[in-house]
Amino acid sequence: MEPLYDEKTLSALRDRLTGSLIGLARATDGNEHLITPSSTEVIVESLFATLTDPRSDAAVLEGLLARVEQEKRKMVPDCFHCASPCGKNSDYDMAALQTAPEEIRALKSLLLLGIQSLAAHALSGRRDDTVNRFFYKALIAVGMDDFGPEELLPIVLEMGRLAAVSMTLPG
């Protein structure tokens, strides 16, 4: 049976999902009290699906996109009816990452790969509130076009420390 979507289409869906996750994380910036277990769960599942899970076909990715959008609507419902959108909670266009300077692209890609690995640990039962909060911080950092190495490197180093902690959590 022929796959319904080719790899190029699946890659575009993964990019849309990642950009949407960044939009969800942006919605929590300054609104950390709005984070719920379901918002963290969809972030963890989506991060796992964007790279790590080979079973993530188009239907899975589209379902996750819908869940991310639903979570964002719960957090900032007025933003979806605003006559003058500010863009603060907008999804991130992953094409901007591809055109970023090489050093920035490398650090942000490392962040994405790292949080995808942390998501795999979380799905295996290795849960930690500090790691959960870090998902939001890292996603926001990836979406910051004005972040340079001096802002990104400390976040990458923090991710490394959290990865070491995550590996020691009971699973």
Cα angle 72, 20, 104; round to 5: 130
pLDDT of 115 strictly over 90:
yes
Give all domains of the chain, ordered by start, each with its CATH number. 7-80 (1.20.1270), 95-168 (1.20.1270)
Q: Is 125 in a helix, a strand, or coil? A: coil
Residues 6+ apart with CB under 8 A from 157: none
Q: What is the largest CA-CA distance in the chain?
A: 49
50-86 pLDDT tens trace = 876 666 788 889 999 999 999 998 888 777 777 666 6
Q: How confident is the model at residue 44 (pLDDT cuts 50, 70, 90)?
A: very high
CB 134 within 8 A of CB 118: yes
Look up tokens 């379901």; give the residue.
Answer: 38
Q: Which residues contact 36 (CB under 8 A, 6 or more apart)?
A: 71, 74
Q: Is the pLDDT of residue 110 over 70?
A: yes
